[in-house]
């Protein structure tokens, strides 16, 4: 049985291969590797392997995707997972014929001044922050430095003035400038990509069993402590971990069952107000000292609520000091039943768990689909982080060619490239003064 969340037929669908013949356990398709269109490639459905009877290429489903896209098996695995979660088919480039003429990149007639002045269309959220964020900062509201930094990154995301990669086709001479992205989770573009990859990585660490979703909340009287000192947020994770381990330990002290769980912090509620709480995806069972696995159907939520209240208050008192004792006594008096823990229905299938992680536990800050105006100009690219050189430096020297999938990227970067890749000198400015506001 395959450990992958997909099979070779999913790869055939993603590559849009034309099926010529069907048998009980295999199919024959055109070969995307050698370009043969007579249905010479055999794909064994049960074994998840392929072989082209024309060119002799063979291997597994990752090799099929990787050789078609000219990438390694690791990159192929991540691209397939991303494509299956988003539903977007990857673009496949056909190989050019051997007698195709290769034009000289110098003859493409590229206008770098036109490239630098290219105006990338902003999405609606970028325009809102660019127009109004300065007035918010000047209004006297306390904003953390990390928030200002991420907002600045998001505003500049996709702006070609701050750097780009130039791709060029060696056969037709067409070029495309791909701007750098900010890689910030606050950005709706980069945040969605980050969350999909994070959800995929988390899903393959889960135990193949039923899972239960629990939400550990705190009373309103304690929330301002976490807002003033964000170091207390670590106490939430520690308290949840200790409470869960204590509950499974009390089931059988000699076995000392250990469950599998994932904790995710949310600092806001549905109304977007400050409300730190922990979401836990908890396995309905655990592994003991002598027992390989024991399924657990009943969770003692009374124990969880009381234990969570006690452990969290003790950790907060240890962190804050003796001044917290009065608040601690007040909470014990007004929360006699412990802190509220919400338990949602259990999740049985592994595919449902993966979808759940991607939709809830790994969600970005916001989505463009929920905004009033939608943007159609957002695309995802595999990016390389380099700095933008001055125009005078770019136009001198010989071009460097980097082979990609069916294309070649041409870059007029000289020896200063290696220095500017890691350069963080804020005094560096291009002729257009594009970094004067940094």
The 3-state DSSP class for residue 280 equals strand
Q: Which helix (H) or strand (E) holds 43?
A: strand 41-44
- For residues 166 and 81, membership in a common domain is answered with no
- For residues 328 and 243, membership in a common domain is answered with yes
> How confident is the model at residue 391, as a pLDDT?
28
> How confident is the model at residue 86, as a pLDDT?
63
Q: Does some domain include residue 364?
A: no
Q: Does some domain include residue 92?
A: no
CB 214, CB 348: distance < 8 Å: no
Segment 347-356 shows an average pLDDT of 69
Most confident of 107-116, 177-186, 339-348, 391-400: 177-186
CB 221, CB 331: distance < 8 Å: yes
φ, ψ at 2 (rounded to 5°): -75, 140
Q: Does some domain include residue 431?
A: no
Q: What is the pLDDT of residues 133-180, one digit of tens each?
A: 999 888 888 888 988 999 999 999 988 888 888 888 888 888 888 888
- For residues 240 and 304, membership in a common domain is answered with yes
Q: Which helix (H) or strand (E) holds 246?
A: helix 233-251
Segment 190-215 shows an average pLDDT of 82
The 3-state DSSP class for residue 367 equals coil
- 361 falls in which pLDDT band (50, 70, 90)? low
Number of domains in the chain: 3
Cα-Cα end-to-end distance for the chain: 54
- 437 falls in which pLDDT band (50, 70, 90)? very low
- For residues 307 and 180, membership in a common domain is answered with no
* Tokens, residue 166: 């130039």
User: Residue 330 to residues 221, 273, 295: CA-CA distances in angstroms?
Assistant: 9, 23, 38
> How confident is the model at residue 36, as a pLDDT?
84
- For residues 216 and 322, membership in a common domain is answered with yes
- Give the integer Cα–Cα distance in Å for 54 and 57: 8
- For residues 219 and 337, membership in a common domain is answered with yes
- For residues 313 and 236, membership in a common domain is answered with yes
- 360 falls in which pLDDT band (50, 70, 90)? low
pLDDT(21) > 60: yes
User: Residue 378 to residues 22, 295, 382: CA-CA distances in angstroms?
Assistant: 38, 45, 13
- For residues 80 and 118, membership in a common domain is answered with no
CB 355, CB 396: distance < 8 Å: no
- For residues 223 and 333, membership in a common domain is answered with yes
125-148: burial string, b at 16+ Cβ within 10 Å, e else: bbeebeeebeeeeeeeeeeeeeee
Nearest to 162 by CA among 147, 183, 144: 183
DSSP3 helix / strand / coil % (the chain, rounded to 5): 40, 15, 45
Q: Does some domain include residue 363?
A: no
- For residues 217 and 329, membership in a common domain is answered with yes
The rounded radius of gyration (Å) of the Cα atoms in the chain is 27
> How confident is the model at residue 355, as a pLDDT?
67
The 3-state DSSP class for residue 117 equals coil
Domain that holds residue 233: 211-346
* Number of other CB atoms surrounding residue 415 within 10 Å: 8
Q: Which carries the bigger pLDDT value, residue 369 or residue 320?
A: 320
Of the candidate ranges 235-249, 333-347, 384-398, the one whose mean pLDDT is the lowest: 384-398
Segment 104-128 shows an average pLDDT of 53
Question: pLDDT above 70 covers what percent of the chain?
Answer: 71
CATH number for the domain spanning 31: value is 3.90.580.10
Q: Does some domain include residue 194?
A: no
Q: Does some domain include residue 434?
A: no
Q: What is the pLDDT of residues 55-82, one digit of tens each?
A: 889 999 999 998 888 888 888 888 888 8
Ramachandran bin of 194, using left for φ above 0, alpha for ψ from -120 to 50, beta for the remaining angles: alpha
Q: Does some domain include residue 358?
A: no
Give the sign of the dihedral formed by CA 175, CA 180, CA 185, CA 187: negative
Q: Is the pTM of this model over 0.85?
A: no
pLDDT(402) > 60: no
pLDDT(383) > 70: no
Segment 280-289 shows an average pLDDT of 92
């Amino acid at each position: 049985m395959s450990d992958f969340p997909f099979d070779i037929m999913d790869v055939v669908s993603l590559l849009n291969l034309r099926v010529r013949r069907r048998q009980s356990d295999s199919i024959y398709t055109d070969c995307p590797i050698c370009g043969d269109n007579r249905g010479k490639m055999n794909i064994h459905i049960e074994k998840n392997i392929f072989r082209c009877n024309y060119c002799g290429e063979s291997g597994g489903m990752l090799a099929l995707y990787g050789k078609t896209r000219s990438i390694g098996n690791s990159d192929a695995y991540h691209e397939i997972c991303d494509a299956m979660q988003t539903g977007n088919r990857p673009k496949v480039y056909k190989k050019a014929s051997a007698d195709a003429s290769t034009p000289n990149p110098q003859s493409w007639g590229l206008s770098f001044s036109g490239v630098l002045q290219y105006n990338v269309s902003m999405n609606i959220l970028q325009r809102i922050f660019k127009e109004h964020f300065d007035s918010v900062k000047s209004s006297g509201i306390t904003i953390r430095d990390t928030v200002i930094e991420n907002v600045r990154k998001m505003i500049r995301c996709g702006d070609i003035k701050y750097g780009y990669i130039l791709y060029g086709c060696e056969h037709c001479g067409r070029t495309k400038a791909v701007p750098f992205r900010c890689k910030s989770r606050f950005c709706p573009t980069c945040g969605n990509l980050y969350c999909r990859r994070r959800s995929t990585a988390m899903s393959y660490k889960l135990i193949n069993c039923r899972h239960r979703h629990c939400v550990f909340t705190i009373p309103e009287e304690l929330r301002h402590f976490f807002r003033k000192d964000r170091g207390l947020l670590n106490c939430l994770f520690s308290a949840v971990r200790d409470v869960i381990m204590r509950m499974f330990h009390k089931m059988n002290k000699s076995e000392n069952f250990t469950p599998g769980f994932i904790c995710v912090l949310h600092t806001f509620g549905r109304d977007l107000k400050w409300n730190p709480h922990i979401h836990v995806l908890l396995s309905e069972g655990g592994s003991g000292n002598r027992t390989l696995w024991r399924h657990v159907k009943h969770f003692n939520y009374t124990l969880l609520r009381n234990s969570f209240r006690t452990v969290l208050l003790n950790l907060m008192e240890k962190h804050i000091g003796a001044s917290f004792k009065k608040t601690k006594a007040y909470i014990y008096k007004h929360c006699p039943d412990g802190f509220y823990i919400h338990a949602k229905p259990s999740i049985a299938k592994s595919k449902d768990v993966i979808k759940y992680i991607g939709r809830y536990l790994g969600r970005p800050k916001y989505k463009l689909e929920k905004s009033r105006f939608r943007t159609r100009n957002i695309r995802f690219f595999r990016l390389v982080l380099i700095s933008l050189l001055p125009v005078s430096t770019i136009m001198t020297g010989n071009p460097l060619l980097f082979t990609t999938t069916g294309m070649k990227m041409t870059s007029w970067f000289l020896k200063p490239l290696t220095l500017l890749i890691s350069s963080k000198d804020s005094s560096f400015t291009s002729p257009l003064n594009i970094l004067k506001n940094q």
